[in-house]
């Protein structure tokens, strides 16, 4: 990456900070005042102490009230300024972090799931949390130090030049070394290590997340040692880069300290002959020496800031890599006329070079009809759900509610559907939290009615905390059948005109399947229903018609009784998945 690319990224970040620029400018202004107060404190204190010593030696009277007041004022301003600076800069940082996370999620959400399939969930979480946390350094460790160093150095050197242009020039040269040359050197040396550190930290999070999520499988198959070794290797690689950056930080601190002490000694070496020649007051020499030493506080943070610039830029690029992905178009949605579904020659695939998951599907489902879509694994059943939920682009014609699916915005298309699948996610919260996800403004009566319909209300009432009972991670406090009924109740609470049941009884034992059967029958009333399964069994009694999907096409359709009585794909599926 060139410096122009880096500047482009920084400008883009600065544009994102626009809503909080007043906080940012306020924090930088107070930081500048605190810096100037500290420089003034040391310079005035040096002159005052020297003047008092000289006056005492010569038994002369001196006005010590004014410089003493200046010293006290500068000390109070420095202490108060640094406190207010922390308040303003950290408030600005917290606001920036909150807005950045919201901005990132708002751009991430329209991409799910189709445009995010190349990224792992742990990596996405790392970008949302850790990478955005890294970007708080852009303001605190880059923007503020740069602004304060530039303004503070210029003001301090102008005041110093009033007493000695030579000392001001030498101090300016050493400030340039400490504040420009040294940061540039550390930027070149430290940027690769900082960028690698960010990548290694992200990969380590992914490895740890995988090890935790798959802990049971790792124990069963004896893969714990390999998983731990990956985490160990990642940790060692990360520590190596951190040591390299720590070494550079130590060199940077030493370099700034060396420049500051050289400035002090140059002021003394130049000033002593001037004092001897009576061309410079002795007290002014002390003031210039302390002035030259104190002004380096302005550039002290810059080497570290530029060393970390590589990590900041890498984090920003990781975020922009995702948000620059083009989301699906969001047209102005028409008003649906009914709850009918009509597919004509629909084709869909998951990548440009991937085989067709749907290859010319023709399917018609009248409003209020109940259709079972069956087929072997890989036949394209789940792709139909992805299509109807507007998660994937397609060719051909797909009409829902009398309008082409492309004419709906994604959210409006999904508002027509309620989906119950075998892997519905239950959040770590209460039963009520998970129900209200579908309809946040639902009344108590509506919630109870949905749970009664899903045959879950009596079970919930039997819990100690009722609807406020915690589900645990992924709904682990519920059995498979209870979790499925909760997902069904959530879908019913949404009250969408089209109900899609994607393998609703998969993985359940026969008893639990029969218990869920009644809840499904009640849930289907008054809705257009698409039941997706690779085996129907007792569920065949719930539908009016069955369509068989094979290699992405509908190859057979009719009632379950008629299809099972004739040779063909449906009979073969029954023989394969439901042997006598």
308-360 pLDDT, tens per residue? 888 888 888 888 888 888 776 677 888 888 899 999 999 998 887 889 999 99
Beta bridge partners of 529: 370, 499
Element holding 213 (H helix, E strand): helix 182-213
pLDDT at 136 over 90: no
**Of residues 376, 347, 368, 355, the one with CA closest to residue 556:** 376
Supply the DSSP string of 231-272, one letter for each residue. Answer: HHHHHHHHHHHHHHHHHHHHHHHHHHHHHHHHHHHHHHHHHH
Distance (Å, whole) CA 309 – CA 187: 7
Residue written as tokens 């600076």?
85
Average pLDDT, the chain: 85
Average pLDDT score over residue span 373-384: 86
Helix (H, G, I), strand (E, B) or coil at 385: helix
CATH 3.40.50.720 assigned to 3-193+244-323:
no
End-to-end CA separation in angstroms for the chain: 66
Percent helix, strand and coil across the chain, each rounded to 5?
Answer: 65, 10, 25
Average pLDDT score over residue span 213-227: 84
Task: Give the residue range(s) of CATH 3.40.50.300 domains in the chain.
Answer: 341-577
State the burial class of residue 55 (Cβ atoms within 10 Å of its Cβ: 0-12, 13-18, 19+).
middle
pLDDT score for 283:
86
Beta strands in 111-170 (DSSP E): none
Tell me the pTM.
0.67
Distance (Å, whole) CA 333 – CA 441: 23
> What is the number of helices (H) and of strands (E) in the chain?
22, 10
pLDDT score for 64:
74
Query: 273: how many CB neighbours lie within 10 A of its CB?
Result: 10
For 134-138, 227-231, 291-295, 416-420, which range has the lowest pLDDT when averaged over its residues? 134-138
pLDDT score for 305:
84
Distance (Å, whole) CA 114 – CA 353: 15
Q: Which CATH number fits domain 341-577: 3.40.50.300, 3.30.365.10, 1.10.760.10, 2.40.50.140?
A: 3.40.50.300
Average pLDDT score over residue span 548-572: 86
Distance (Å, whole) CA 491 – CA 489: 5
pLDDT score for 532:
87
For 46-60, 84-98, 148-162, which range has the lowest pLDDT when averaged over its residues? 46-60
Question: 29 or 425: whose pLDDT is higher?
Answer: 29
Q: Take residue 456 and report the two structure tokens written for it.
A: 């879950």
Beta bridge partners of 430: 470
Distance (Å, whole) CA 357 – CA 417: 21
Distance (Å, whole) CA 436 – CA 429: 11
CA distances from 36 to 75, 81, 149, 300, 491 (A): 11, 10, 11, 14, 63
Residue 366 dihedral angles phi and psi, to the nearest 5°: -70, 160
At CA 55, angle to CA 51 and CA 59, rounded to 5? 175
Q: Take residue 248 and report the two structure tokens written for it.
A: 């550079």
Task: Give the residue range(s) of CATH 1.20.1560.10 domains in the chain.
Answer: 3-193+244-323
pLDDT score for 59:
64
Under 8 Å between Cβ of 413 and 390? yes
Query: 392: how many CB neighbours lie within 10 A of its CB?
Result: 19
**pLDDT band for position 458 (50/70/90)?**
confident
Distance (Å, whole) CA 78 – CA 56: 29
Distance (Å, whole) CA 578 – CA 56: 108
Under 8 Å between Cβ of 245 and 197? yes
Distance (Å, whole) CA 160 – CA 284: 10
Helix (H, G, I), strand (E, B) or coil at 107: helix
The length of the chain, given as a count of residues: 580
pLDDT score for 84:
93
Question: 111 or 75: whose pLDDT is higher?
Answer: 75
Distance (Å, whole) CA 378 – CA 444: 41
pLDDT of 248-280, one tens digit each?
Answer: 889 888 999 999 999 999 999 998 898 888 888
Average pLDDT score over residue span 523-540: 80
**Of residues 281, 260, 259, 258, the one with CA closest to residue 271:** 281
Residue written as tokens 């040359």?
181
Q: Take residue 335 and report the two structure tokens written for it.
A: 């008003």
Which residues have a Cβ under 8 Å from the Cβ of 77 and sit 6 or more positions away?
33, 34, 37
Under 8 Å between Cβ of 434 and 471? yes
Give percent of the chain with pLDDT exceeding 70: 95
pLDDT score for 422:
73
Under 8 Å between Cβ of 481 and 508? yes
For 52-56, 190-194, 238-242, 575-579, which range has the lowest pLDDT when averaged over its residues? 575-579
pLDDT score for 154:
93
pLDDT score for 326:
78
Task: Characterize the bridge pairing of strands 341-348 and 358-365.
Answer: antiparallel
pLDDT score for 382:
86
* 448-481 exposure pattern, b = at least 16 Cβ within 10 A, e = fewer: bbbbebbbbbebbeeeeeebebebeeebeebebb
Under 8 Å between Cβ of 500 and 417? yes
pLDDT of 25-73, one tens digit each?
Answer: 999 999 999 999 999 898 888 888 887 887 777 666 677 778 788 888 8
Under 8 Å between Cβ of 363 and 341? yes
């Amino acid at each position: 990456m060139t410096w122009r690319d880096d500047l482009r990224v920084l400008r883009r970040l600065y544009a994102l900070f626009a809503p909080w620029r007043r906080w940012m400018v306020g924090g930088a202004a107070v930081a500048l005042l605190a810096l100037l107060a500290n420089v003034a404190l040391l310079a005035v204190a040096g002159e005052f102490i020297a003047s008092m010593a000289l006056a005492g030696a010569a038994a002369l009277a001196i006005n010590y009230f004014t410089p003493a007041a200046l010293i006290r004022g500068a000390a109070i301003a420095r202490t108060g300024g640094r406190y207010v600076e922390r308040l303003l800069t950290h408030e600005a940082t917290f606001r920036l972090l909150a807005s950045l996370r919201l901005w990132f999620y708002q751009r991430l959400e329209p991409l799910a799931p189709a445009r995010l399939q190349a990224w792992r969930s742990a990596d996405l979480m790392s970008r949302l949390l850790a990478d955005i946390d890294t970007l708080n350094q852009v303001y605190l460790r880059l923007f503020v130090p740069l602004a304060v160093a530039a303004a503070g150095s210029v003001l301090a050197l102008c005041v110093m030049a009033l007493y000695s242009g030579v000392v001001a020039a030498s101090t300016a040269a050493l400030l340039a070394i400490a504040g420009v040359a040294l940061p540039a050197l550390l930027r070149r040396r430290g940027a690769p290590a900082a960028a690698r550190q960010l990548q290694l930290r992200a990969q380590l999070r992914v490895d740890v997340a995988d090890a935790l999520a798959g802990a049971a499988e790792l124990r069963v198959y004896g893969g714990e040692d390999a998983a731990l070794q990956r985490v160990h290797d990642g940790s060692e690689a990360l520590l190596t880069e951190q040591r390299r950056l720590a070494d550079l930080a130590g060199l940077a601190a030493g370099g700034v300290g060396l420049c500051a002490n050289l400035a002090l000694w140059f002021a003394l070496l130049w000033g002593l002959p001037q004092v001897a020649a009576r061309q410079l007051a002795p007290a002014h020499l002390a003031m210039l020496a302390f002035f030259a030493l104190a002004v380096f506080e302005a550039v002290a943070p810059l080497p570290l800031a530029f060393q970390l610039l590589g990590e900041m830029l890498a984090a920003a690029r990781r975020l922009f890599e995702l948000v620059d992905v083009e989301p699906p178009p969001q047209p102005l949605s028409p008003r649906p006329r009914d709850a009918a579904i009509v597919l004509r020659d629909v084709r869909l695939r998951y990548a440009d070079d991937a085989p067709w998951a749907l290859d010319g599907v023709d399917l018609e489902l009248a409003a209020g009809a109940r259709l079972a879509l069956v087929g072997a694994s890989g036949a394209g059943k789940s792709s139909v759900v992805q299509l109807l939920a507007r998660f994937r682009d397609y060719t051909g014609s797909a009409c829902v509610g009398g309008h082409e699916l492309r004419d709906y915005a994604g959210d409006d298309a999904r508002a027509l559907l309620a989906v119950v699948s075998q892997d519905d996610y239950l959040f770590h919260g209460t039963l009520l939290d998970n129900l209200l996800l579908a309809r946040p403004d639902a009344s108590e009566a509506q919630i109870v009615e949905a749970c009664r319909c899903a045959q879950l209300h009596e079970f919930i009432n039997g819990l100690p905390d009722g609807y406020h009972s915690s589900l645990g991670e992924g709904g682990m406090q519920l059995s498979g059948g209870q979790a499925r009924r909760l997902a069904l109740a959530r879908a019913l609470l949404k009250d969408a005109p089209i109900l899609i049941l994607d393998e609703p009884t998969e993985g359940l034992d026969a008893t639990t399947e029969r218990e869920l059967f009644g809840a499904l029958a009640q849930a289907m009333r008054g809705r257009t229903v698409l039941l997706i399964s690779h085996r129907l069994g007792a569920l065949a009694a719930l539908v009016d018609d069955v369509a068989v999907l094979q290699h992405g096409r509908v190859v057979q359709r009719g009632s379950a009784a008629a299809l099972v009585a004739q040779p063909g794909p449906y009979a073969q599926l029954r023989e394969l998945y439901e042997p006598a």
